[in-house]
A and B are shown apart, each in its own frame.
Chain A
Amino acid sequence: MDNISLLIQAPSILGQLVLDGLLAGAIFALAAYGLALVWGVMNIINVAQGEFVILGGYVTYTLYDKFGINPLWTVPIAFVVLYAVGWLLYKLIIYRLVDRDLFTSLLATFGISILLQQLMNQVFGADVVGADAGLGSSLFFDSAIVTANIKFVSFSLALVCGVVLVMALKRSRLGQAIRATAQDARAARIMGVDTDKVYAATFSLNSAICGVAGALVVMTWVIHPFIGLVYTVRSFMIVIIAGLGNLAAVVVSGLGLGALENVAGFVLGAEFQSAFVFGLLVVILVVRNAMVRRKRQVLS
């Protein structure tokens, strides 16, 4: 535990970790919001969420690597490509899961995640890759804290994307249709809403959001075909803490998780960071369950 004493002696390290974590958290919050959207509207928990993120990252990486395009310009392309992927998946598989129980959708999307992982492995190889946006770094506090500028850009883009999303859902007709379907699908159908289109749009919107998140991820860190699950778990944790409806709560939880995870990674050692995330998931669920049990109920 000398790492903890190190943190106390040199607060700038803590500051660095927290800053990096907060910046990372915005991206997690984005993916989490998409997960909550699909969960709330379609009652499907998308275990392949992380794979959508990584796929978005690969779109960006391919454009960057093969065509030399600055990754920042690829963000909207990742959005569009992943929207199409989501739409395709919905039409082929997901539409069958909408009326089924949650476990079937869990297992099916888990299957999809494995399928995507392996496809990405075949097509892109298992190497760890990243895309450099060429933005350099900024120095704070007399070089005590150094941050790659791309992180600020990612942070801002993630937040902007989130805000645009929420506003679009509130103001647009599609947004209204989505909210109506989420509340009562049968009633929405009776009122003339094409719920199938709504579900397709919701699912595709989610994968598109993940695409954006992935583009940001590959610019900020690195990706490889098998790292998707960590993003899925983070999204799920954020949704558990924040609940299904509240963007502000999702953002706060996302930022908080990002910062916490980063600090934990330092204190426990980088190889345990992943374990920390999964372990934290278990702890959160157990604690939430215990809290709910005091009210004579259970987490269900």
Chain B
Amino acid sequence: MKKKLAIGVGLLLSLAAPYLFPTYVTMLAFVWLMVVLSLSWDIIGGQMGYNSFGNIFFFGIGMYVSAIVQRDMFSSGVDRFADVAGAAAVQLSQSEYFISLSVGVALAAVICVLVAIVLGMAILSMRGHYFAICTLGLGIAAGEIASGIDFIGAGSGMVTPLYPEAAGSREAFYYYFFFALAVGTLLLLNKIYKSRFGLVLNAIRDDEDKAEAMGLHTTRYKTIAWSIAAFVLGIAGAGTGNLVGFIDPIDVAFTGATFGVWMILTVILGGKGTLWGPVIGAVIFYATKEIFWTYLLGWQRVALGLLIVIIVVFFPTGILGWVRERWPHRFGERVEEAN
């Protein structure tokens, strides 16, 4: 009962946030983005035990796909090279903007799922560190390769279309975009983790050899999980490209050194393999990062590197892991026998 009340209040506050804290809207949008990224990483990292360094791969693909659709869907008259030089961004009417955005987001999600399925066939059978490093190579290679393709702006990247002025505040719109995405992802994962599918993921994490020896279709489940993560990441990427306004292959799309690693840290900080762990971790991490950036200017990245080491070495089970040890019954775990 208390939990429902708290969630209800939280929801109301979140819905009203753009009006309550107008100067922080963009930052809050990023907080929701972090929540989404963390939740999506936890599907395969925390629940399934497949630690991926390269989830950012789908994020970047989603970003580019949507940007391309938005750029080209209605503006066949605009010279491509004008865009690439970073000059005029495409200007669309209200309906054009939202239609191209919707199509872009949808296509981003679909393509990411397809890529996940194809890629999964090649790399999902690798275990442990081989998988982790392979995904690392994938994420970085994607950024490097994207820097070399002129169609998508090569090293200078792309610029997403301007938000139509008539439609109101751009920041507020994308705030609600990411808020909706976060809530949607949370609801989806909540349902999934309570089902048999959730159990299979955990079985794969706990002992994949055993799961195979018991005849579970591990490959199929792994691919589906990977696809769900890709789906969410693709949409998140599409939104981020529009929120930030420009797409740079190394620093914005396939940013291994920022969002790419942050999504792993937030989950470890909050607690791997739980539903709310990634959420808590995302919020706390983002807050800490902002504090670092404001007060430790110049040394903020060093502090961040240090934070990574501290989190991983000293808090491997995260906040919720600590809570679970103290109060196991809150997680449905029994320590004594039942009757």
State whether B137 touches A286 (Cβ < 8 A): no
Flag whether A96 is at the interface (Cβ < 8 A).
Answer: yes
Flag whether A275 is at the interface (Cβ < 8 A).
Answer: yes
Query: Which one of B75-83, B166-174, B304-312 is at the interface?
Result: B304-312
- Contact with B301, one of A103, A118, A278 (Cβ below 8 angstroms): A118
A252 contact set on B, CB distance < 8 A: none
- Contact with A236, one of B133, B311, B316 (Cβ below 8 angstroms): B133
Flag whether B220 is at the interface (Cβ < 8 A).
Answer: no
State whether B305 touches A118 (Cβ < 8 A): yes
State whether B141 touches A275 (Cβ < 8 A): yes
State whether A122 touches B144 (Cβ < 8 A): no
B301 contact set on A, CB distance < 8 A: 114, 118, 121
State whether B305 touches A111 (Cβ < 8 A): yes
Flag whether A112 is at the interface (Cβ < 8 A).
Answer: yes
Within 219-266 of A, Cβ neighbours of B (below 8 Å) are at 229, 233, 236
State whether A282 touches B309 (Cβ < 8 A): no
Flag whether A70 is at the interface (Cβ < 8 A).
Answer: no
State whether B306 touches A299 (Cβ < 8 A): no
Closest CB in chain A relative to B250 CB, distance in Å? 10
Q: Known contacts A107-B312, A271-B147: does B306 contact A115 (CB below 8 Å)?
A: yes
A115 contact set on B, CB distance < 8 A: 302, 305-306, 308-309
Nearest-CB residue, chain B, relative to A111: B308
State whether A299 touches B125 (Cβ < 8 A): yes
- Contact with A114, one of B134, B308, B316 (Cβ below 8 angstroms): B308
State whether B127 touches A119 (Cβ < 8 A): no
Closest CB in chain B relative to A235 CB, distance in Å? 11
Q: Known contacts A282-B141, A286-B134: does B123 contact A106 (CB below 8 Å)?
A: no
Flag whether A81 is at the interface (Cβ < 8 A).
Answer: no
State whether B313 touches A93 (Cβ < 8 A): yes
> Which of the four size classes fits the interface of chain A?
35 or more
- Contact with A106, one of B129, B298, B311 (Cβ below 8 angstroms): B129
Flag whether B51 is at the interface (Cβ < 8 A).
Answer: yes
Nearest-CB residue, chain A, relative to B141: A278
Instruction: Map CB proximity to B onto A63-81 as digits: 1 under 8 Å, 0 otherwise.
Output: 0000000000000000000
Nearest-CB residue, chain B, relative to A278: B141
Q: For B51, B127, B129, B308, which residue has the most chain A Cβ atoms within 10 angstroms?
A: B129
Flag whether B122 is at the interface (Cβ < 8 A).
Answer: yes
Instruction: Map CB proximity to B onto A254-291 as digits: 1 under 8 Å, 0 otherwise.
Output: 00000000000000010110110011011001100110
Closest CB in chain B relative to A121 CB, distance in Å? 8
State whether B299 touches A285 (Cβ < 8 A): no
Within 78-106 of A, Cβ neighbours of B (below 8 Å) are at 93, 96-97, 100, 102-104, 106
Closest CB in chain B relative to A283 CB, distance in Å? 9
Nearest-CB residue, chain A, relative to B134: A285
State whether A286 touches B133 (Cβ < 8 A): no
Instruction: Map CB proximity to A onto B134-163 as digits: 1 under 8 Å, 0 otherwise.
Output: 100110110011011000000100000000
Closest CB in chain A relative to B169 CB, distance in Å? 35
Within 252-280 of B, Cβ neighbours of A (below 8 Å) are at 257, 261, 264, 268
Flag whether A164 is at the interface (Cβ < 8 A).
Answer: no
Flag whether B19 is at the interface (Cβ < 8 A).
Answer: no
State whether A45 touches B129 (Cβ < 8 A): yes
Instruction: Map CB proximity to A onto B167-205 as digits: 1 under 8 Å, 0 otherwise.
Output: 000000000000000000000000000000000000000
B309 contact set on A, CB distance < 8 A: 93, 108, 111-112, 115
State whether A118 touches B137 (Cβ < 8 A): no
Bound form: Cα–Cα A180–B164 in Å: 69
Flag whether B132 is at the interface (Cβ < 8 A).
Answer: yes
State whether A114 touches B261 (Cβ < 8 A): yes
State whether A102 touches B129 (Cβ < 8 A): yes
- Pairs across A and B, CB under 8 Å, 30 listed: A45-B129, A45-B133, A103-B128, A104-B312, A106-B133, A108-B313, A110-B308, A111-B305, A111-B308, A114-B304, A115-B302, A115-B308, A115-B309, A119-B305, A233-B140, A271-B144, A271-B155, A272-B145, A272-B148, A274-B144, A275-B145, A278-B138, A278-B140, A279-B137, A285-B126, A285-B133, A289-B126, A290-B122, A298-B125, A300-B130
Binding site for B on A (CB under 8 A): 45, 93, 96-97, 100, 102-104, 106-108, 110-112, 114-119, 121-122, 229, 233, 236, 269, 271-272, 274-275, 278-279, 281-282, 285-286, 289-290, 293, 298-300
The 5 A-B pairs at the shortest CB distance, nearest first, are namely A115-B305, A111-B308, A300-B127, A275-B144, A278-B141
Binding site for A on B (CB under 8 A): 51, 53, 122-123, 125-130, 132-134, 137-138, 140-141, 144-145, 147-148, 155, 257, 261, 264, 268, 298-299, 301-302, 304-306, 308-309, 311-313, 316
